[in-house]
Structure 1
Amino acid sequence: MPLKNTGTEQHIKDTAKRLLFAEGKLHATTQEIADAAGVNRTALHYYFRSRDQLIAAIFQEAMRDLSQRLNECMTAEQPFKAKTENIIAVFLKHMIAFPYQETFLVTEINTLGKQLISDIQSAPVKSYLKEAAAEMEKGTIEKMDPVHFLMNLFSLLSYPLIMAPLYKKLFQVSAKDFRELIDERGKLIVRLLFKNK
């Protein structure tokens, strides 16, 4: 049996990510993924025996990427507000490029269970929460359980993008206008989370 070409394997995963995360084709078949990747289905099955195996590999890569972005942002040597602004900028940029990734991750976690979540590191999050608590003592943000502060931050970032198809219809806005609203959110989120001092 020939050796597997890791370049082809990664190309298949990258193509699947584009279909799932950028285009929202969450139920793409192995045939659709193979066609988009420019390989036949036999080749795809050579690298991934089933769609489930391919989806699991994509999920693990996405979770590693999420964990890495969180770690880099949360451990940066910056004042807390600047660090939070950076988290917002980094995550909004990623979410705009891959608007369906959050939906994919939540769906897979709910379908396959918590055992999938192995790559998220808690130390950077604990450090960030400790900094949030210190900022609350300084009075720069409202006093609350710091976990609520972080959940608020992530909710303000991700929920509008997860709900984008409904919001575009509900508010009668074009894709371009909705993108402009999302571009405004970074500064708006900072104003909502931090007190003006």
Structure 2
Amino acid sequence: MPLKNTGTETLIKETAKRLFFAEGKLHATTQEIADAAGVNRTSLHYYFRSRDLLLEAVFKEAMQALSGRMNECMAAEKPFRQKIEDLIEVFLKDMTAFPYQETFLVTEINTLGKELIENIKAEPINNFLTEVKEEMHNGTLEKIEPIHFLMNLFSLLSYPLIMAPLYRQLFQISEKKFSELIGQRKEIILKMLFTE
């Protein structure tokens, strides 16, 4: 059997990510992905056999990359507030570049099954939740269930970006103005989360 051309395989995956995550074409067909990548559909099927296998590969890479960046922020040897600032920056950078990534990830978990996320390591999150408890004990955060703290943080980050098309229409603002508002999110979120 000939060796696979991983350059073509990578091109197909990166094109699928662009279509799914950046352009929001979550239902792009294999033909649309092949066309956008500049390859024929036979090549796409050679590397991925089916659309589901391509979706799974894209999902796994995206989830590992996002989890890795988040875990790196959470495990860093830095003061807690700096960790939160770093998490916000990483998340906003990812979500601004790929506004439909979260929608894609949640859709695929619901469609392809929860086994896709079984390999996510709980240890970094559990260690971080311990730090959240300590910060609450020290009075820098309001005392709530630590899981709520993380859910609040990620909700404050992701919801405005997921809803961006609706918000731009509802508030009658340009993409530029909306980007300016998103640029203000970090300071707003920090004021909402921290007591001092």
TM-score (ref. length: structure 1): 0.97
Does the 8 Å contact 1:99/1:161 carry over to 2?
A: yes
Does the 8 Å contact 2:74/2:87 carry over to 1?
A: yes
Structure 2 residue runs without a partner (length 5+): none
Over aligned residue pairs, what C-alpha RMSD do you find?
0.9
Does the 8 Å contact 2:20/2:26 carry over to 1?
A: yes
CA deviation vs aligned residue, 1:36-74 (integer Å, no higher than 9, x gap): 111111111110111111001101111111210121010
Does the 8 Å contact 1:88/1:186 carry over to 2?
A: yes
**1:64 corresponding residue in structure 2:** 64
Does the 8 Å contact 2:70/2:90 carry over to 1?
A: no
CA deviation vs aligned residue, 1:157-192 (integer Å, no higher than 9, x gap): 111111111111111111111111111101110110
**1:19 corresponding residue in structure 2:** 19
Does the 8 Å contact 2:19/2:25 carry over to 1?
A: yes
Task: Give the distance between the partners of 1:34 and 1:174, measured in 2 at CA.
Answer: 32
Matched, 1:137 2:137: yes
**1:168 corresponding residue in structure 2:** 168
**1:122 corresponding residue in structure 2:** 122
The correspondence of residues 16-165 of structure 1 with structure 2, limited to 5 A, is: 16-165=16-165
Task: Give the distance between the partners of 2:106 and 2:142, measured in 1 at CA.
Answer: 29
Displaced runs of 4 or more, over 4 A: none
The residue matched to 2:184 in structure 1 has which SS? helix
Q: In the superposition, relative to structure 1, how do residues 176 and 54 fare at CA in structure 2: closer, same or farther (>3 Å)?
A: same
Shift of 1:118: 2.6
Structure 1 residue runs without a partner (length 5+): none
How many aligned positions are there? 196
Does the 8 Å contact 2:71/2:124 carry over to 1?
A: yes
Does the 8 Å contact 1:67/1:119 carry over to 2?
A: no
Does the 8 Å contact 1:63/1:119 carry over to 2?
A: no
**1:4 corresponding residue in structure 2:** 4
- Give % identity: 69
